[in-house]
Amino acid sequence: MSLPFLIIAFVTLFAAAAAMSLRNLVHCSLAFVVAFAGLAALYLNLGAQFVGFAQILVYVGAIAILIVFAILLTRSGDTPNEAVLAPGWFYGIAVSAVVFTLLGWAVLNSSALPKEVSAAPQTTVKNIGEALMNKYVLPLEIIGLLLTAAMIGAVIIALKEPSQTDHSGRKT
């Protein structure tokens, strides 16, 4: 395994851990951007150029902006004074440690994984485009429909509620 891969993987994991543990949400979203840019670099390192650039466009470009807007609209940009972890946080961390241990044990002891390293596949964007337009054209259309439905749904959900009493009886 090449040294660049290990360095990028370390940066990605460190940024992911920071995104999940920092107190200020704005810092969390910055660490989140670094983690997803690192993942895109990992995809490029593994030879999947198209996926790497799609990752940068979608995650670093779109989802990070969405998250920053959500932080802005929910007015949670300040560092909170109360606890940021849920009351049962210890069990959550214990369960995730168990999950990692089991996955790691399975990966290290599995006999199903191929032992020899195959040559790097020669994939161009032309191959991907041909596959998308021939073999995978129906899933592509369905994804387009799903994205349209999700966009309309997100706009409708986030619309201002009509004036009514909220759950505590106040007028909104």
Question: Which of 71, 59, 66, 67 has the alpha carbon at shortest distance from 35?
Answer: 59
Q: Which of residues 7-36 bind another protein (CB under 8 A)?
A: 9, 12-13, 16-17, 19-21, 25, 28-29, 32, 35-36
CA pair distance 79, 82, nearest whole angstrom: 9
Is the CB of residue 18 less than 8 Å from the CB of residue 31?
yes
Interatomic CA distance for residues 51 and 59, integer angstroms? 11
List 7, 27, 46, 79, residue binding another protein (CB under 8 A): 46
Stated as kind and residue range, the H or E segment containing 8 is helix 3-21
d(CA 150, CA 146): 6
Interactions with another protein, residue window 74-133 (CB under 8 A) = 74-76, 83-89, 92-93, 95-97, 99-100, 103-104, 107-108, 113-115, 117-118, 120-121, 123, 127-128, 131-132
Among 81, 126, 157, 171, interactor with another protein by CB under 8 A: 157
CB of 154 to another protein, least distance (A): 4
The least distance separating another protein from the CB of residue 153, rounded to whole angstroms, comes to 6
User: CB of residue 43 vs another protein: minimum separation in angstroms?
Assistant: 6
Q: How far is the CB of 106 from another protein (least distance, A)?
A: 9
Enter the tokens of residue 89.
């946080």
Sole binder of another protein in the list 7, 133, 137, 154 (CB under 8 A): 154
Query: Tokens standing for 163?
Result: 């004036």
CB of 88 to another protein, least distance (A): 8
Per-residue tokens: 119: 């040559």
Per rule CB under 8 A, is residue 3 in the interface with another protein?
no
CA distance 63 to 147: 14
